[in-house]
A and B are shown apart, each in its own frame.
Chain A
Amino acid sequence: MITVDRLTVSYGAFTAVDDVSFVAQPGRVTGFLGPNGAGKSTTMRVMVGLTPASRGQVTIGGLLYRDIPNPGRHVGVLLDAGAQHAGRTGREILAIGAETMGLPRTRVDEMLALVGLTDAEAKRRLRNYSLGMKQRLGIAHALLGDPSVLILDEPANGLDPAGIRWMRGLLKGYADRGGTVLLSSHLLHEVEQIADEMILIGHGRIVAQGDKQSLLANAGGADVTLVTSLDNAGLGSALTAAGHVVEAAGSGLKVTASTEQVGRVALAAGVVLTDLRSGGAGLEDLFLELTSSTQRDAFPNGVPA
């Protein structure tokens, strides 16, 4: 279990992490989401003792990182897959880790096989690795000591779609066996499908947290439905008559009502529906909205989700 307790990290006047608290539970995958520069990596570096906290603290299983003996055996860490000596072979990088942790050499082969790096690839030097291969090696390094807690910063970065799916399965299985997994990402769809719990961070502050359902429920606002029918004009006036706000949207209508309400009005009006779906804020909209104050690029209204 990772407990972040009122953590603040300041650099002079700039506050990179501002009073952040959350818990990553064992048996669950916790996604740490936010745009670039939101404070995810800084928070993760504090967890591992690489960056000092200005205020607050992080404990892992009740201990400060520096109080965990042979920490590689308990906490698997991947903060930057590129932070390895470019002149070492992949196998040598794992061998150094295994030697430090006091693991048998066979563990290196097991991990190489697990992350799908071939013998020939393991003999290459890191400078000749693609980003995806570096990520696989980094994940292998994090898993070397058979830890019960995983801290992964942007692990999906550079992986191809098949690699992302592979990683998803790996981490899911890991959490199912009781492990604690915290992974960060700036891409919602990478995390959405595996994270049991999501922490949304923007501008160094947590803007929302919870599972997908509760996040969407808390997003609030009135229901919005997108509907297309064989008689949009007729349906539109029936909906307006029923007291709903209607506007044209593409080939259909956008209605401020639930899908059920729209369906009932259509039934009563005898209009055939060809498409009916919730047009409410998806997780992506929510993510952009919550972190918009820190977003580098302005999004015009009506950008397709």
Chain B
Amino acid sequence: MSSLAAPPQVLDVSNTPPVPFGRLVKVEWRKMLDTRAGLWLLIISAGLLALISGIVLLVVALADVTPPTANDWLNIMTIPVSMLVPVMAITIVTQEWSQRTAMVTFALEASRLRVVLAKLVAVMALGAATIALAAVLGLVGNVVGAALAGTDADWNVTVGAFGWALATQVLYLLMGFGFGLLLLSSPAALALYYVYVWILEGGVILPGIMYVLYFTMDWAQAVLPWISMRLSMLPFQLSDDDVRSIESDIGATLDTGVLGLARVITSVLIWVGIPLLLGTWRLLRAEVK
């Protein structure tokens, strides 16, 4: 504020550029790491990834088992990643509401859409770093595991399989972000995410409700691939041998053509697209107190 004889009635904003988007991203990145809660989430994430690969290697070293192949490592490492990265995506949104910092954030950048996009970019970067760490640990694990067992490392992961696994993790991140925007509450969004991923979909170790229904109920085979992201993507991820054995089990073909893609798109829209859209719409209109 400058000393003026006659105070101006109009704000002179001609020399004030808007806040650059890159700066918003930097600020959001900083806000993820500058609290104990944020720091612990990172430490736990890195620790959990290291712990899981350590346990697998320990089992290989102590028990006389065949070491996991690259594909096994991929399946193992996606579990912690799918537990952790969406939590980051949820909390980057919901924390602004639980700690009520949204009042300050939106007072400094009035365009809420820019803030949402900056948050998304920042949490995507953190998610990418986590996934990269998991990939490196899996890679090293595969080499070390084979060395411990005295065998050659088995690099049986195709680019396609890795791509689909990566896409799934990114979709889970976006899903968490969407749930956060839609519910604006950490516990609610976390609960919804975990119910979907662990109870409805299930993982490699424990199949979820939709997965079980798909293999046991006829109606489920027709309906669930349109709803479950895991089931819609399954035909694209499996090896040809697995596809044939499942097809003979359920007596139907796993479609990887237009129908298969339509199922992927529909299930992704249900769980990722719609929550993101509705959530953004809610945030843009919400009253901030």
A interface residue numbers (CB < 8 A to B): 1, 25-27, 45, 48-52, 60-63, 65-66, 68-74, 77, 79-80, 82-88, 92, 96-97, 99-102, 141, 146-149, 174, 177-180
B7-41 Cβ-contact flags toward A at 8 Å (1 or 0): 11111010011110001101100110011110000
How far is B2's CA from A130's CA once the two chains are assembled, in angstroms?
33
Decide if B35 touches A87 in the complex (CB within 8 Å).
yes
What's the tally of chain B residues with a CB closer than 8 Å to chain A?
A: 40
Decide if A88 touches B34 in the complex (CB within 8 Å).
yes
- The residue on B at minimum CB distance from A84 is B101
Decide if A86 touches B110 in the complex (CB within 8 Å).
no
Supposing A74-B16, A99-B30 touch, asked if A83 and B110 sit within 8 A by C-beta, the answer is: no
Is B43 interfacial (CB 8 A cutoff)?
no
How far is B1's CA from A61's CA once the two chains are assembled, in angstroms?
14
- The residue on A at minimum CB distance from B96 is A85
How far is B1's CA from A149's CA once the two chains are assembled, in angstroms?
9
One of B8, B19, B104, B288 near A51 (C-beta < 8 A): B288
20 further A-B pairs in the complex, CB-CB below 8 A; given A26-B9, A83-B99:
A1-B9, A49-B110, A50-B107, A61-B8, A61-B9, A61-B10, A62-B9, A69-B17, A70-B16, A74-B13, A80-B100, A84-B101, A92-B34, A100-B108, A101-B108, A102-B23, A149-B11, A174-B1, A178-B8, A179-B1
Residues of B within 8 A of A79 (CB): 103, 107
Is B3 interfacial (CB 8 A cutoff)?
yes
One of A48, A61, A101, A179 near B19 (C-beta < 8 A): A101
Decide if B19 touches A100 in the complex (CB within 8 Å).
yes
How far is B23's CA from A141's CA once the two chains are assembled, in angstroms?
18
B99-138 Cβ-contact flags toward A at 8 Å (1 or 0): 1110110111111000000000000000000000000000
How far is B8's CA from A65's CA once the two chains are assembled, in angstroms?
17
Supposing A69-B18, A70-B18 touch, asked if A100 and B24 sit within 8 A by C-beta, the answer is: yes
> Nearest chain B CB to A70's CB is how many angstroms away?
5
* 25 A-B pairs (CB sep. < 8 Å): A25-B7, A26-B7, A26-B8, A27-B7, A45-B287, A45-B288, A45-B289, A48-B106, A50-B287, A50-B288, A61-B10, A66-B110, A68-B110, A70-B17, A72-B107, A73-B16, A80-B100, A85-B31, A85-B101, A88-B35, A99-B27, A99-B30, A100-B23, A146-B1, A179-B7
How far is B113's CA from A66's CA once the two chains are assembled, in angstroms?
12
> Nearest chain B CB to A175's CB is how many angstroms away?
9
- The residue on B at minimum CB distance from A179 is B1
How far is B225's CA from A127's CA once the two chains are assembled, in angstroms?
48
How far is B99's CA from A65's CA once the two chains are assembled, in angstroms?
23
Residues of B within 8 A of A102 (CB): 19, 23
How far is B107's CA from A84's CA once the two chains are assembled, in angstroms?
13
Decide if A87 touches B36 in the complex (CB within 8 Å).
yes
How far is B7's CA from A180's CA once the two chains are assembled, in angstroms?
9
Residues of B within 8 A of A77 (CB): 104, 107
